[in-house]
Chain A
Amino acid sequence: MVVTQAATRPAALEMRGVTKRFPGVVANDHIDLDVRRGEIHALLGENGAGKTTLMNILYGLVTPDEGEILLGGKPVTIASPSDAISQGISMVHQHFMLVPVLTVAENILLGEEPMANPVFMDRKGAHTRIRELGRFFGSEIDPDLRVGSLSVGWQQRVEILKALYRNADILVLDEPTAVLTPQETKEIFTVLRRLTAEGTSIIFISHKLYEVLEIADRITVIRRGKVVGSRIPSETDEDDLAELMVGREVQLTADRGESHPGEPMLTVSGIQVKDDRGHEVVHGVDFEVRAGEVFGIAGVAGNGQDELVEALAGLRKPSGGTVQLSGRAITGATPRRMHNLGEGFVPADRHRFGLVLAFPLTDNSVLTSYYRPPFSRGLVRDDDAIRRHAEKVIADFDVRTPSPTVPASTLSGGNQQKVVVAREFDRDLKLLVLDQPTRGLDVGSIEFIHRQVIAKRDAGAAVLLISAELDEVLELSDRIGVMFRGRIVAVMDGRSATREEVGLLMATGGREGPPPIIAEGAA
């Protein structure tokens, strides 16, 4: 019923023939999109399909090469975000656009400050307004809290409050649920429905099929910069949408098969780790990962996972506890020693840690082994041996590149990640540490990397998978540990765990009462 009502409403926004070319790619190729008043219109597509570019055009952050934008039937020019805001368009960006050192109120008011007189701001009036908006939202918030101290879920709420404060007619949400637990996602969905009931139009960007099916009135699918189809949720399903999005039939979940765990490979006991500011953020964590199993660690970003991974990869010295790799103590060992003992490591940030972007693929493929034969003899490198090795891993791991000698920076994100994976996977491993191994990748690359992980597991490696993407943890893990405020609060069976169950533990750590507002370690 809702659907038919929405279908007859007038268009709030039309984008016609919008085209944007970047050097080497057409990010948007004559895209048409119409959004009706009071509708939730989902924009579905893979990473890199052009969704964010399209929305940045709508918001005045990117200038289109061709095409026009109509609001309420009238053509408009949007040259800057202030144009967009004055036309009633608000956007919640994929990455937080919050200033951590400013307060909640300051972040919300910024750019739209209510003035008590020509010089000073009217802070009292603003605070009242923010509290009112919070109540509408279902959860009042103290406007004087520093945004940097809030939990990720509450930061996302502040982002939405920013849009509400500006009385948006059209609200764009770019991957708003990526960092949220399933429970937080439900709360946000309730607010979105309340907004559409008051006439707001919402553009909801996502690559999570089940979410789109749940929240959208209509779905437009974009692939490689083009609109490839539109659907109504009641007339489609996940398989249909996935095929439309990727352009071929895809296997949505990796067939992980049976696992045959053996001896404990990685044994972590009572490990304590401090962050850069010297605060302890991992408080005595115990777990073990056995040969031939995937142990996944789920948790909302910022609960100590980053520091734990760095300690296990030799990038950060633990302040207490021990780590053993197949019986040998490796607590505080250097990355090279860990590597030589059979540990592979795929870091979360391939640009900062995984690759030297300015180096060619040949050099990147031997970053962990360049100093020993066959790649080096004495002080001299053997460029032929390095090149042969690079050519082999490029072929084995299906890296799409014109040549092994181009700089890593010229490859797409998916191919870059394959280079990292190839380097780390291409030998016998006892332990594989994967930190967000598929972040920002396209479905094809994700499928490929997931298959490789399962193959490594079946070859007898112990796999530790850390990911803020709950779906990935659920899909690959034989056992799942949930990390909350620097502790593993629960370990469960990977096959029987449900998204809701794990999500609740991620949000509350298994305690009674509502999830905390203030993030841990925040002053």
Chain B
Amino acid sequence: MDVVLHLPVIGLVLQFLGYLLSVMATNGQLIITLSTPIALGALCGFMNERSGVVNIGIEGMMLFAAFVGWYVAALVNGGAPTTNPGPLGLTFPLLVGVVAAIAAGVAVSALHAWLSITVRANQIISGTIINIEALAITGYLNLLISQNPIPSAGNFQSFHVPAQAASVPVLGWVMTTFLGHGPITLTMLVLVIVLQVLLYRSRWGLRSRAVGEHPRAAETLGIDVIRLRYRNVLLGGVLAGLAGAWFTLEYIGTFQGGMTNGRGFIALAALIFGRWTPIGAFGAALVFGIADTLGQAVQFNPPTGDLGALLSGVPEQVFSALPYLVTIIVLAGVVGRSIPPAADGQPYEREAKAT
């Protein structure tokens, strides 16, 4: 009885896995593209939490940076004579936009740093404020601007792997998957590796790990805990700014209210899933990128046969919700086994009390 019931199910599962693999193989480039904001957001969280500051405001930082980057780029574009874009679609307005997005990310991070480190406010509240304010302020300003719309500055273009190179077996696939991207995604790939190496090999990495685990011990060895935390949170703002710029200057080329759509929260999940390491967070971001890609593939290129019939009965909203469902499943399975830095979220007070 059991066997009879299970056989078709096993068949379907195998079909699904086959479909999943084919989606991954044919959409490698898209997976990495969609992982980019999550990976950059997770790297922002990494910079914060490794040195002991919890940041749930990544979503708001990204959204704010996305808006500022887009708007500044559009303003510069309107005032500057048009020039031919350089490689990767680089233009002066877009570059200024990226710089503005980074500045916006750093500015919001500075607020978070001040509230979390100096004022020693509750860090969850600080992050929540940032999320709510970013959604409201960008939505409002966008509304104002849309009454008198200005043309946007366009977006970056992906690196085009030459056809000759792309046709080489395996290597060609690897090259298009990892190199066929715009400048922000390429920067993300480099940052993942650089930060991973620095975390374990550099003085900065050692000190950050110590400050996130046992700040008092670090201070007794002459390390300025407050300064290190400020520096790392502000650097995290650079990464959130880049993530924001990805939305409006690389992926879409325009701004929509609430367009980060929870990617900042998924980034937090990726950080936990990736055990607070850059490589791990990137790997986790890829999982979410795959879920995202799968959701799109099912709608535009559905599988055939029994599986196709089955999936066509599922409402498309379920596939759009896939990355969020994966977030819940991953966190439920991982939380408790993934240990955060010991001092994560604890404000540091300098002067020792009387004993």
Contacts and interface: CB of A to CB of B under 8 A. Distances in A.
Contact of B207 (A22, A62, A81, A110): A110
Interface in B334-355: 342, 351-355
B214 A98 contact: yes
A61 B220 CA distance: 8
Interface in B198-236: 198, 201-203, 206-207, 209-210, 213-214, 216-224
A85 B353 contact: no
B221 A81 contact: yes
A110 B351 contact: no
Interface string A92-133: 011011111110001001111101000111000000000000
Nearest to B209: A102
A102 B351 CA distance: 25
Contact of A101 (B213, B218, B221, B223): B213
Interface size class on chain A is 35 or more
Contacts of A110: 206-207, 210, 217-218, 221, 223
Given A22-B354, A25-B354, A62-B351, A109 B206 contact: yes
A61 B352 contact: yes
Interface residues of B, number: 25
A48 interface: yes
A113 B207 CA distance: 10
Given A81-B220, A110-B207, A113-B203, A100 B354 contact: no
A111 B218 contact: yes
A63 interface: yes
B302 to A, nearest CB: 44
A113 B206 contact: yes
B354 A53 contact: yes
A57 to B, nearest CB: 10
Given A62-B351, A121-B203, A80 B222 contact: yes
A119 B198 CA distance: 8
A15 to B, nearest CB: 17
B206 A121 contact: yes
Nearest to A98: B217
A205 to B, nearest CB: 11
A97 B355 contact: no
A91 B222 CA distance: 12
A27 B355 CA distance: 9
B222 A48 contact: no
A52 interface: yes
A22 B351 CA distance: 11
Nearest to A86: B222
B225 to A, nearest CB: 11
A56 interface: yes
B206 A97 contact: no
Nearest to B198: A119
B222 A115 contact: no
B355 A85 contact: no
B220 A59 contact: yes
Interface in A26-40: 27
Interface of A: 22, 25, 27, 47-48, 52-53, 56, 59, 61-63, 80-82, 84-86, 91, 93-94, 96-102, 106, 109-113, 115, 119-121, 162
28 contacts: A27-B354, A47-B355, A48-B355, A53-B355, A56-B352, A61-B352, A80-B224, A81-B221, A82-B224, A91-B220, A96-B217, A97-B214, A97-B221, A98-B214, A98-B217, A99-B218, A100-B213, A101-B209, A101-B213, A102-B209, A102-B213, A106-B210, A110-B206, A110-B210, A110-B218, A111-B223, A120-B202, A121-B201
